[in-house]
């Protein structure tokens, strides 16, 4: 049978190495990603040897500002794993979701693992995983990599998603004004971008991410038309396009936090 490739993505310290070692028995191939001194780890899932896990570098974003970010997005967008497990440290949910909103746009089937759920219990915080799943448009599995909880379930869902081959859509996290600009840019890019990556590339063009859009080989005319759309919204917002995108992602994440997280009431402690 063909090998099924599943990438593990997540912020630094979200527990990716713990998960990778637990799933693979940790005796996999370790080397560097081509051209950079960023560690690459790859090994089969110990329960199904034809499922290959690729541990991506820990990152906060898929922008091009560090070798780790470039390696991760090149792998997602160009090498195209069959599915992605996006691992989230649930005790830092708000910060971790920033990367998640971008991973969901990369045109691959995504399953979200909510890691460190054992710590959540201690704190008394409650996450509505069903609601979170519906807002993200992707399956969400509550796990603990350290305590080996629900890891088979996470992998089962990832393998199913990989073999189903249906790319996750990406969330509608932008305001109507920005959304309409993105639609215009997407139309300008047209079939220069593969269908599964149409939205990904529309956002990258909007952000003027030259490195990301280079493979599209857009014409001068297409770039000028896009620039007109981008400049108009920058003028109306008095902000640059990249900051607008970042700001709206965080605004959307705030609504997700409101809808999905119930904090434990703060206990008053008395000193004695
Ligand atoms: P990475 O940077 O994403 O590779 O994260 P690591 O796997 O190195 O984990 C970071 C820290 O979180 C380590 O101290 C792990 O033991 C701890 N950790 C990982 N998963 C869990 C979990 O499910 N629960 C708890 N409580 N700690 C975890
Ligand atoms: K670490
Ligand atoms: Mg690690």
**DSSP β-ladder status, 39-45 and 29-32:** antiparallel
The strand order across the sheet containing 110-115 reads 29-32, 39-45, 48-55, 4-10, 83-89, 110-115, 140-142
Measure the CA–CA gap between 182 and 163, rounded to whole angstroms: 30
Point out the ligand nearest to the CA of residue 10. 1
Average pLDDT across the chain, whole number: 94
Tell me: the pLDDT tens digits for 84-108?
999 999 999 999 999 999 999 999 9
What was the pLDDT predicted at 215? 94
Measure the CA–CA gap between 138 and 237, rounded to whole angstroms: 31
What was the pLDDT predicted at 263? 84
Q: Which atom of ligand 1 is nearest to the CA of 117?
A: 23
Tell me: the pLDDT tens digits for 210-239?
999 999 999 999 999 999 999 999 999 999
Tell me: the pLDDT tens digits for 135-186?
999 999 999 999 999 999 999 999 999 999 999 999 999 999 999 999 999 9
pLDDT tier at 122 (50, 70, 90 boundaries)? confident
Point out the ligand nearest to the CA of residue 12. 1
Predicted structure pTM score = 0.94
Q: Which atom of ligand 1 is nearest to the CA of 149?
A: 23
What was the pLDDT predicted at 26? 73
102, 9 in Cβ contact below 8 A? no
Q: Residue 222 — left, alpha, or beta (φ > 0 → left; ψ -120 to 50 → alpha)? A: alpha
Q: Whose CA is closest to atom 1 on ligand 1?
A: 13
- When computed from its CA atoms, the radius of gyration of the chain, rounded to whole angstroms, is 19
CA of 85 to the centre of ligand 3 (A): 14
Long-range Cβ pairs for the range 169-173 (8 Å, 24+): 169/104, 169/137, 169/199, 170/101, 170/104, 170/105, 170/137, 170/199, 170/200, 171/101, 171/104, 171/135, 171/136, 171/137, 171/252, 173/101, 173/248, 173/249, 173/251, 173/252, 173/253
What average pLDDT does range 46-62 have in this prediction?
A: 95
Q: Which atom of ligand 1 is nearest to the CA of 147?
A: 23
Q: Which atom of ligand 1 is nearest to the CA of 145?
A: 23
Measure the CA–CA gap between 129 and 66, rounded to whole angstroms: 31
Question: Could you give the C-alpha distances from 84 to 87, 116, 138, 215, in angstroms and in order?
Answer: 9, 19, 11, 22
| pLDDT at position 28 over 70 | no
Q: Whose CA is closest to atom 24 on ligand 1?
A: 116
CA of 124 to the centre of ligand 3 (A): 27
For ligand 1, mutation pick of 10, 13, 18, 54 (most atoms within 8 Å of CB): 18
| pLDDT at position 45 over 60 | yes
What was the pLDDT predicted at 266? 72
pLDDT tier at 271 (50, 70, 90 boundaries)? low
Pocket of ligand 1, beta carbon within 6 A: 10, 12-18, 58, 115-116, 118-119, 144-147
What was the pLDDT predicted at 57? 93
Please state the φ and ψ torsions of residue 147, each to the nearest 5 degrees: -100, 10
Point out the ligand nearest to the CA of residue 9. 1
What was the pLDDT predicted at 44? 95
CA of 20 to the centre of ligand 2 (A): 12
Q: Which atom of ligand 1 is nearest to the CA of 21?
A: 7
CA of 25 to the centre of ligand 2 (A): 18
Please state the φ and ψ torsions of residue 218, each to the nearest 5 degrees: -65, 145
Share of the chain above pLDDT 70, in %: 96
pLDDT tier at 269 (50, 70, 90 boundaries)? low
Measure the CA–CA gap between 114 and 145, rounded to whole angstroms: 10
Point out the ligand nearest to the CA of residue 142. 1
Measure the CA–CA gap between 88 and 13, rounded to whole angstroms: 9
What was the pLDDT predicted at 171? 95
What was the pLDDT predicted at 267? 67
């Amino acid at each position: 049978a063909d090998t099924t490739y599943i990438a593990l993505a997540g912020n630094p310290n979200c527990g990716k190495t713990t998960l990778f070692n637990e799933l693979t028995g940790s005796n996999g191939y370790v080397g560097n990603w081509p051209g950079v001194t960023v560690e690459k780890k790859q090994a089969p899932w110990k329960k199904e040897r034809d499922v290959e896990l690729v541990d991506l570098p820990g990152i906060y974003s898929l922008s091009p500002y560090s070798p780790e970010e470039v390696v991760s997005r090149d792998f997602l967008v160009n090498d195209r794993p069959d599915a992605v497990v996006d691992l989230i440290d649930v005790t830092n949910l708000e910060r971790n979701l920033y990367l998640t909103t971008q991973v969901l746009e990369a045109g691959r089937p995504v399953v979200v693992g909510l890691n460190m759920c054992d710590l959540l219990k201690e704190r008394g915080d409650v996450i509505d995983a069903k609601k979170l799943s519906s807002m993200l448009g992707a399956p969400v599995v509550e796990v603990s990599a350290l305590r080996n909880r629900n890891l088979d379930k996470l992998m089962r869902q990832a393998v199913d998603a990989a073999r189903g081959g249906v790319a996750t859509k990406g969330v509608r996290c932008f305001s109507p004004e920005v959304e309409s600009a993105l639609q215009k840019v997407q139309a300008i890019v047209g079939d220069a971008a593969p269908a599964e990556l149409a939205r990904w590339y529309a956002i990258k063009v909007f952000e003027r991410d030259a490195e990301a859009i280079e493979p599209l080989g857009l014409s001068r005319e297409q770039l000028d038309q896009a620039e007109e759309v981008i400049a108009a919204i920058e003028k109306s917002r008095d902000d640059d396009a990249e900051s607008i995108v970042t700001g709206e992602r965080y605004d959307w994440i705030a609504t997700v936090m409101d809808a999905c997280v119930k904090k434990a009431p703060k206990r008053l402690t008395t000193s004695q």
